[in-house]
């Protein structure tokens, strides 16, 4: 995968017999790759957010299936059942990222074939998923950059770059492509509570030599009021058939603010992010993480009287979205264009 090798930032590295995952919880202070040799380890890496971002989660899970086949094929006559059990384990790791289930379905389809060499076949499927994601990101980058022509400033949320994908990025890939064409002021919000904007997006852009200005999440409205940004550019973890978008918590807030201030909203995601089986956003299961991620230690005692609500995603209705960009094309004003059905 030559394109993967050219990426400055790599969240995932396949070594031939193990998957190396960049522990994104430790960025930007420490660049540490953990090595995984079985599906259970990959599932833990996804659950613990060592790897995150819908496309990267799907790719990691695909390699997790490869590791499962490596482990069980030569050891048991019932290796297929054991691999299926590992696939189910991987599927439980993050419920909202539809790319996870899409990638696992691809792997199950290959697993169901009568392969002369099951390991080679399943590895080829995982590598194809990885390579196609990188190619799709570059395509989306150019399509989205076309929409940003003449823009003076953009605001992005969470991390949607090479760290969240197979390489290059979705929304951040658009920003990278646009920056190569024209001067562009890039703003990134902190993205609480995990600070993906501060820790990951700012670091990744710095690796690419692209200047970026960090803002507090609560400063977004005032930034828009100043006229500094023309577009908010975000990724997606799931897009419904009508064009509603589930993405990192805080995306809905930005969409409402953008509408109020005349700022356009672009959603950038591969076709694998579209869930054709869900018609609208209120049908999406929203993951909630442990309240301890929000609470200071002094509030962890049962009698403290302080609790926390910690949804990881929210849903932006299609009416607030200016454009949805995929590798297959762009849907402008998807609310009036029947969502994303024209891309199917």
Residues annotated as part of the active site:
237
Q: How many Å is the Cα radius of gyration of the chain?
A: 20
For residue 238, give the nearest of 315, 182, 185, 309 by alpha carbon. 315
How many alpha carbons fall within 13 Å on the CB side of residue 338? 5
Cis amide linkage into residue 310, ω under 30° from 0: no
Distances (CA, A) of 288 to 51, 125, 292: 17, 31, 11
């Amino acid at each position: 995968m030559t394109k993967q090798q050219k990426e400055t930032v790599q969240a995932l590295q396949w070594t031939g017999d193990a998957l190396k995952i960049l522990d994104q919880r430790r960025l930007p202070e420490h660049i540490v790759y953990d090595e995984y040799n079985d599906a259970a380890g990959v599932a833990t890496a996804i659950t613990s957010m060592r790897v995150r971002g819908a496309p990267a989660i799907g790719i990691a899970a695909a390699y997790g299936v490869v590791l499962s086949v490596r482990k069980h094929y030569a050891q048991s006559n019932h290796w297929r059942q054991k691999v299926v059990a590992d696939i189910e384990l991987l599927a439980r790791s993050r419920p909202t990222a539809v790319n996870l289930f899409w990638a696992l379905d691809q792997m199950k389809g290959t697993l169901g074939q009568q392969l002369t060499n099951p390991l080679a076949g399943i590895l080829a499927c995982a590598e194809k998923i990885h390579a196609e994601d990188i190619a799709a990101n570059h395509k989306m980058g150019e399509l989205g950059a076309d929409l940003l022509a003449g823009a003076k400033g953009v605001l992005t949320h969470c991390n949607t770059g090479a760290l969240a994908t197979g390489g290059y990025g979705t929304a951040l890939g658009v920003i990278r492509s646009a920056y190569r064409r024209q001067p562009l002021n890039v703003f990134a919000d902190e993205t609480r509570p995990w600070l993906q904007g501060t820790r990951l997006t700012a670091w990744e852009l710095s690796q690419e030599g692209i200047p970026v200005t960090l803002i507090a999440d609560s400063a977004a409205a005032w930034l828009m009021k100043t006229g500094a940004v023309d577009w908010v550019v975000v990724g997606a973890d799931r897009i419904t058939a009508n064009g509603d978008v589930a993405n990192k918590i805080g995306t809905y807030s930005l969409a409402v603010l953008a509408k109020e201030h005349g700022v356009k909203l672009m959603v950038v995601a591969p076709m694998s992010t579209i869930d054709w089986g869900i018609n609208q956003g209120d049908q999406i299961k929203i993951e909630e993480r442990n309240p301890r991620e929000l609470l200071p230690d002094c509030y962890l005692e049962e009698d403290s009287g302080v609790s926390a609500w910690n949804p990881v995603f929210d849903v932006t209705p299609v009416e607030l979205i200016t454009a949805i960009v995929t590798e297959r094309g762009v849907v402008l004003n998807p609310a009036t264009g029947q969502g994303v059905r024209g891309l199917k």
